[in-house]
């Protein structure tokens, strides 16, 4: 393989200015995660509320 070494390839890519990164896909993915989280979490509180009272 005549590919330049990974390390050189990465070194050549300089960091761009912070702030110009776009990540809308990640935003949607994580929003979906949070939504699932909220639904599952509160469904469990509902299930708990249905069992016998205990202290």
Sign of the alpha-carbon torsion through 26, 29, 35, 41: negative
Structure tokens at 50: 């249905």
Residues within window 1-55 making contact with other proteins, judged by CB under 8 A: 1, 3, 5-11, 13, 15-16, 18-19, 21-30, 33-34, 36-38, 40-41, 44-45, 47-49, 51-55
Q: Which residues contact 3 (CB under 8 A, 6 or more apart)?
A: 9
Q: What is the spatial distance between Cα 42 and Cα 48, in angstroms, rounded to a whole number?
A: 10
Q: Count the site residues for other proteins by CB under 8 A.
A: 41
Q: Kindly list the residues in this chain that would bind other proteins in the complex (CB under 8 A).
A: 1, 3, 5-11, 13, 15-16, 18-19, 21-30, 33-34, 36-38, 40-41, 44-45, 47-49, 51-55
């Amino acid at each position: 393989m005549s590919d330049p070494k990974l390390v050189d390839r990465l070194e050549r890519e300089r960091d761009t200015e912070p702030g110009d990164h776009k990540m809308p896909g990640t935003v949607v993915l994580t929003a979906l995660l949070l939504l699932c989280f909220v639904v599952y979490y509160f469904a469990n509180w509902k299930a708990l509320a249905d069992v016998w009272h205990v202290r």
